[in-house]
Structure 1
Amino acid sequence: MPITLLAAATPAAGPTRLDPLELFLQADIVVQAVMIGLILASIWTWTIIVSFTLRTGNLEKKSRDYETEFWETRDREATLTKQQRREIPSARIAAAGLEEWKKSTSAGKLDADAARQRIAAAMESQVAFEADELAGRLGFLASTGSVAPFVGLFGTVWGIMNSFFQIGAQQSASLAVVAPGIAEALFATAIGLFAAIPAVIAYNRFSNRVNQYEARLQRFADRVHAGLSRELDKA
């Protein structure tokens, strides 16, 4: 058989592996927009994961060191410098309690019970503020984890609709006609899961870490409150 006939009889070699870039470039403009949005969400998710991990580790170390110094020193007001108040949550909590204690003891007639309530309220409010500030970006992780799969599914549905349109336009239901569109559509779902799964895992882990950190700050606030309460009994 002539060489030319052999070449014609031999089927063209198809792609041997998935090419994500090729799938993206060949996708419909709507599917491309969905993919870009999901990729950007995934990048921002990993940015939050890295920054949150570094920030919480730094805050926990600073708070632990400050609390050790706070309980070891006799002049606790001297440890509440402007620098410490700005950077360390434990220092801001202690400062809130001490400031309310000074206001209550310098107001003339002292009502110890009312002063205790005001001191506790001031520190509890500061604890809640510190926890809210630390958890500020976790809402994006929750939104990404719940929304990204549906956004990817929208891209999938659009891609499949486009494949059916190609079937009607070319009047052919062969695999060669529908396979590219379906592959592009399913790739959008894969990107949605790629963005959602780390976001869900990180949100659950970081939420638990914020709760533990808030509980630790609350225990510190309770100890400070107990110490200030004893000082009120002496006043």
Structure 2
Amino acid sequence: MQFSNFSVFINSISNVSLRVLDASIPNEKYVTIDLSETNDILNKVDMSSSSKLEVFVNDHIKKHEAQIAYGGYLELRNIYKRSNHFNGQAAEERNIHLGIDLWCDAERPIYAPLEGVVHSFKNNTNYGDYGPTIILKHHIKGVAFYTLYGHLSLTSIKNLKVGQPFKKGDKIAALGDASVNGDYSPHLHFQIIKDLQGYKGDYPGVCSKLDLEFYKDNCPDPNLLLKLGV
């Protein structure tokens, strides 16, 4: 089956929410969080400190009587300024987030939202990077595509094998803490990718304004699968 628009295809996969966290957590226990450069409250937080960011996120979750904070697709963020991994010339600075983040506690299990196999995995150890990362390959309705899971625990990739199959709902990993996940408050970076462009165990999760149109097409909104807040 051919789709002229990849986002339309992703949205068509399921009429109900697909889960990368515990399926028993209802949508009502998810709350959106704004980590953009326009959030004046966040701009008063020392973003170079993962522990201070964690306090900010946890306070937000508690205030809203939620369990998970989520959001960030195409969000323009200041947090990446702390790392040379994302900085280039002004127009090439990578600061636009291409996935959805789900903020919760370290060691929380991560589940496959769809049937797939392990395409690749890697510990991306640059400061501010993903840390342990898994990429799954999926074939749905005759279309091949990928999902990326970043900021995992080291044990998540310890005994993994390329080609290893996972069914929908299988546990695939657990979240890492700041000591291994690129120095962030614990969270899952979840991203959908049409064309991996030869990458293995890694793919850009942040882009520059110059490249935004390409990545918007290649990495559609993950909430088209998760359907949180819908």
Normalising by structure 2, report the TM-score.
Answer: 0.23
Higher relative strand content = 2
Q: Is the radius of gyration larger for structure 1 or structure 2?
A: 1
Structure possessing the higher relative contact order (Cα contacts under 8 Å, 6 or more residues apart): 1
Normalising by structure 1, report the TM-score.
Answer: 0.23
Higher relative helix content = 1
